[in-house]
C-alpha cells in the first residue's frame, strides 16, 4: 500500500504531524507541498525527509515529480491545480483520494449555495474527508459526505513544543495575541478593547506577536507591547507565561493557535467566528464574544481577567484536557485509519 500527502503552504506543524505517521506506520509517504508564506526554520528536519515542492497554481504530475502514483492520496483542498491534477491521476489509476478540508461551518449564503455545487461536482471525487474538528465535520455533512467517511484531527499543534506551564494564578497578568496584523484578525480592535478596560486592570499587559500592514495602527500604550513574528519554540514559552490567549478574528477556518494556547493551559478569549472554539472552548476555560463587537470583547476580557483563583484552576485543567484530542498522534491515528479503510 502506497500513500502520499499534499499540503498547501506546508507549515511546520503539518510536517510534524506527517512525521508522526511515518514513525507509527510502515508507510513510505512522499510529501508534496507548496511553500508557506512565512518561512519556518527546520521544516524538512521536522518532517525527516525532503519535500517535493510545487507551485500550487500550476498542474503537477507524479512522473514529473519522479514518484509512483500512490494507492491513497491526501489531497490539500479542491481548488489548487497542482494537487487536483495529482488527485485526478490517482483516481485514473484506480486509487482513492482523501480530501483535506479546513473550512468551518458558518451557515452563510455561500455555504448554502455551495452545498449543491459540491455534491454535483466534487463529492464523487473523494472517498474520504479529513477535517480539523467538529465544525468541519458539520460542514462536510452539510455537503453530503456520510458521517462514517469523515475523520477529525487534521490540524493540531505539537505537545512537545506547546505544553502546560505554571498554574494560571502563578503566571504574569498577561494577555497574548498571536497572528497577522490584518483586519480579519481584529488586532487593532483587541488593543482598543484592552484600553477600554485598562483602568480596571492596572496590573495587566497585552502582548502581541505577528506581522502585517496594520502593525503601525495598533494604539501606543505603555501596557501594549507589539512584536514581530517568532519561531514555534519561542512561541511555546510565551503561551506558558500568559494567562489569557485572545483571538478576535472576523473569520477563522479553525485556528491552530487556539490549540497551542489550550495545550499551554491558557484561558481563551475567542470570537464566535473561530472554528476551533467548538473543540476547545468550554464554560470553564473560555469566554466567547460577538464577532466584531469591541464592547462584547472588552466585557469578556474583563470577565476572564477578574476570575477568582479557583476558577483559574478549573480553566487550566479544562484547557489541557480538551487539547488532548488533537496533535501529531491524533493526526497519525486518523491518517492510518483512513488508509486502512480506503484499502478495504
Query: Which residue ranges make up each domain of the chain?
Result: 3-156+326-342, 168-323
CA 305 from centre of chain: 25
Which of the residues in the chain have pLDDT under 50? none
- The pLDDT of residue 40 is 63
Beta strands in the chain, from DSSP E residues, in sequence order: 3-7, 31-33, 52-53, 72-76, 96-100, 128-131, 150-152, 174-178, 205-209, 224-227, 244-247, 267-271, 286-289
Q: Do domains 3-156+326-342 and 168-323 have the same CATH topology?
A: yes
Distance CA 235, CA 38 (A): 15
Distance CA 15, CA 45 (A): 9
Superfamily of domain 3-156+326-342: Glycogen Phosphorylase B; (3.40.50.2000)
| Half-sphere CA count of 281, side-chain side, radius 13 A | 26
Distance CA 153, CA 132 (A): 5
Task: Pick 168-323's CATH classification: 3.40.50.720, 3.40.640.10, 3.30.365.10, 3.40.50.2000.
Answer: 3.40.50.2000
- The pLDDT of residue 39 is 64
Amino acid at each position: 500500500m502506497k500513500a502520499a500527502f499534499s499540503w498547501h503552504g506546508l507549515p511546520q506543524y503539518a510536517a510534524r504531524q506527517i512525521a508522526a505517521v511515518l514513525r507509527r506506520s510502515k508507510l513510505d509517504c512522499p510529501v508534496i507541498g507548496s511553500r508557506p508564506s512565512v518561512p519556518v526554520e527546520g521544516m524538512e528536519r521536522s518532517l525527516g525527509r525532503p519535500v517535493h515542492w510545487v507551485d500550487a497554481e500550476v498542474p503537477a504530475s507524479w512522473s514529473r515529480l519522479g514518484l509512483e502514483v500512490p494507492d491513497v492520496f491526501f489531497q490539500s483542498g479542491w481548488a489548487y491545480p497542482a494537487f487536483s491534477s495529482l488527485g485526478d491521476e490517482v483516481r485514473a489509476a484506480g486509487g482513492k483520494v482523501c480530501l483535506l478540508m479546513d473550512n468551518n461551518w458558518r451557515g452563510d449564503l455561500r455555504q448554502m449555495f455551495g452545498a449543491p455545487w459540491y455534491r454535483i461536482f466534487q463529492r464523487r471525487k473523494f472517498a474520504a474527508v479529513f477535517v480539523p474538528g467538529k465544525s468541519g465535520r458539520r460542514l462536510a455533512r452539510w455537503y453530503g459526505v456520510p458521517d462514517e467517511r469523515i475523520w477529525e484531527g487534521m490540524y493540531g499543534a505539537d505537545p512537545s513544543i506547546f505544553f502546560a506551564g505554571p498554574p494560571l494564578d502563578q503566571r504574569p497578568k498577561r494577555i497574548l495575541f498571536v497572528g497577522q496584523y490584518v483586519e480579519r484578525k481584529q488586532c487593532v480592535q483587541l488593543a482598543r478593547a484592552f484600553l477600554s478596560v485598562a483602568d480596571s486592570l492596572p496590573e495587566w499587559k497585552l502582548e502581541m506577536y505577528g506581522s502585517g500592514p496594520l502593525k503601525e495602527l495598533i494604539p501606543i500604550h505603555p501596557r501594549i507591547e507589539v512584536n514581530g513574528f517568532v519561531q514555534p519554540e519561542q512561541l511555546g514559552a510565551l503561551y506558558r507565561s500568559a494567562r489569557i490567549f485572545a483571538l478576535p478574528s472576523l473569520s477563522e477556518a479553525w485556528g491552530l493557535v487556539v490549540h497551542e494556547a489550550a495545550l499551554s493551559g491558557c484561558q481563551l478569549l475567542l470570537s464566535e467566528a473561530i472554528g476551533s472554539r467548538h473543540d476547545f472552548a468550554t464554560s470553564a476555560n473560555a469566554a466567547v464574544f460577538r464577532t466584531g463587537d469591541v464592547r462584547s470583547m472588552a466585557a469578556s476580557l474583563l470577565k476572564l481577567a477578574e476570575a477568582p483563583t479557583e476558577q483559574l484552576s478549573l480553566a487550566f485543567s479544562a484547557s489541557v484536557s480538551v487539547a488532548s484530542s488533537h496533535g501529531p498522534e491524533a493526526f497519525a491515528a486518523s491518517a492510518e485509519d483512513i488508509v486502512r479503510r480506503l484499502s478495504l
